[in-house]
Every structure is written in C-alpha cells, then in structure tokens.
Amino acid sequence: MSERLMPKYIRRSLLSLPIDDPQLGEQAFASWADAIILDFVRKPGTDWQKELRARMPAAIVAAARGGAEVFIRVNSDRAAAELDATVFSGIAGVVLKGVNGAEGIAQASARLDALEASRGIAAGSLEIDVEVNTAAGVWNSLEIARASRRFGTFTVNEPELCRNLGMHPEPVLEFEALEYIKSQLITVATSVGGQAQGMSYPLSLTQKNAGEEDLRKAVQRARDTGFKGAACHHASWIQVCNEGFRPSPGEIAYYRKVIAVFAEGLKRGMASVPIDGKMIDVPVDLRAKLYLEWANRAQARDDEKARAHEQ
C-alpha cells in the first residue's frame, strides 16, 4: 500500500445551492460547508449556454466566499454542452451525475482538458466526482474510477439509486439495504486513491430534518462505513458533519497514547503491545499516525474557512 493522504480530501460536508438563488453568496458564506455544489437549470427557449457563461464566474466567486471548494453539477448524458457553459476558473472540479460506464467519465475528462487550456485553468487540475444513481454506475464503478486520472470521489445519491433499483425511496425498512453497495463504492474509490461520500440509512433517504442526536449517530455510522463526508440535505447538518467526519477529541487522545506506548514497546524490542486488551502493533501505530494527520488537516481546513469569514 502506498503511503497516501488519508483521506485524500477534507470534504466533510457538501451543500448544493442553485445559482438562481439571489442569496447564493450569503447562504454559502453562512453554511460553513467544506464544499458547495452549484446547480443550474437549462431554461427552455433561451440561449441557456450563453446565459450561463455570463453568470457562472460571479456565481463561483459568491459560492467560494466562505472558504468552500466549489463544484458544478453536470449531467453525464449532455456533459460536453454543460461543461462548456459552466467551467470557469475558481472551481475545484465537477460533479458528474448519471455516469454508467468508463466512456462517460473519459469523455468529460477530455472536454475538461480542452476547457482548462482555453480558460486559463491549470492543466489536469480539475477533479471529476461521480454521483452514483444507477445500478450500472455501481456495477461499473471500478472501470469508472480507473478511466480518468481526474476521478476523485463517489457520492451515493441514495434516493435516486433506490428508484433505479426498484426500491422504495422512503426509509420503510428496518435495516441498511444498500450496505454492500456502499461498501463497494468506498472500496473501489479507495483502491484508486480516492474516497466516497454518503450518509447512513435512514437519514440517507429522508428529506425531513433530523434531531441532532440522531444525526450524530448517523454520521458516526457513515464514518464507520468508510464515508469521508456527506451531501447535506439541510444546512443544519453541516456542523455535525464537519465535527463527525474527522477524528474526535477522544480518538486523538487515544491515538497519542497508542503512539507513545508502541514507541516504548519498540525500544524494548516488542512490536506488539497491549492497551486494555487490544493489541497495538504496526498497523495500529500507522493508523494512529494517519488519524493524527487527518485531525490536523481537518483543523487546518477549519482555520482556512475561519480566515475566509474574517475577510
């Protein structure tokens, strides 16, 4: 296993905002989301591309005011036209929705090559995040993730995926029916050095606002599943996600102890040392170091957003 950043991105909370919202800048600023995803509508009977090209640069600036990374959501089946109309300097990448195979992401990636060159964006810098909402997207996830060096994350769009699978899009079951699918997308994304975003059931399907305690538990379970962040259906989720998708103060204290105890063990020639009945060995020590680094990066991200809010 190569020693890569874990997670690759500090992107705990993702908030979708429409560019038509007159309060876009204020909403983005007040949200404290790690990432803002901009949505747009193609108005029939208008030159929607021309209109978007005119509006997009200002919308990107507005969305970024609070220090969030900014993404544009585009549809895979008409990606070329939508990318042409919306990709401008200032975005971190695009969220590509409805990708069913390698071809979809490869074509979008090629389009971004051209747009980066023509619009003064560093070559290869734009990321493609894939929003999974079909069985085909899940089944072909490995070829999708391997098809472009721009691939960054999978996001599970659970309501749409359920509909595609013929499942009830409301949380009517007693158990997490998509456990295997979520685990697959997390594993595949990790295998190429990326990560996955999603929420645990049933909040993954509910549009109602949840109590804070339920939300904390749901975020904890999502993190234990391997997700590194979640699309926030409500602005009220953002703070809980920002605090939940990172090592907790308790974990930080525990892993500091692990590193100290293991280092002490190594001095005595022991590579396996117990703490409270758990064996501390090389992989646990490695995890401890990765977790402390993760906590530091999450803190740095919070500091960065705080500076943006002071300006």
Residues at the interface with other proteins (CB under 8 A): 1, 6-7, 142, 176, 179-184, 186-192, 195, 221, 223-226, 228, 251, 265-266, 269-272, 277-279, 281-284, 286-287, 290, 294
d(CA 18, CA 40) in angstroms, rounded, equals 6
Minimal distance, residue 134 CB to other proteins, in Å: 18
Per residue in 173-205, is it b (16+ CB within 10 Å) or e — as a string?
eeebbbeebbebbbebbbebebbbbbbbbbbbb
Minimal distance, residue 214 CB to other proteins, in Å: 16
Minimal distance, residue 19 CB to other proteins, in Å: 33
Minimal distance, residue 155 CB to other proteins, in Å: 16
Closer CB to other proteins, 32 or 227, in the complex: 227
Closer CB to other proteins, 48 or 254, in the complex: 254
Closer CB to other proteins, 36 or 145, in the complex: 145
Minimal distance, residue 223 CB to other proteins, in Å: 7
Closer CB to other proteins, 182 or 233, in the complex: 182
d(CA 106, CA 112) in angstroms, rounded, equals 10
Minimal distance, residue 220 CB to other proteins, in Å: 9
Are the C-beta atoms of residues 62 and 28 closer than 8 Å to each other? yes
Q: Reduced to 3 states, what is the DSSP secondary structure of residue 74? A: strand
Strands 69-75 and 93-97: parallel
**Whose CA is closest to 141, among 178, 180, 196, 189?**
189
Closer CB to other proteins, 40 or 154, in the complex: 154
Closer CB to other proteins, 213 or 276, in the complex: 276
Q: Taking phi first (over 0 means left), then psi (-120 to 50 degrees means alpha), and beta for anything else, what does residue 36 get?
A: beta
**Whose CA is closest to 57, among 23, 19, 22?**
19
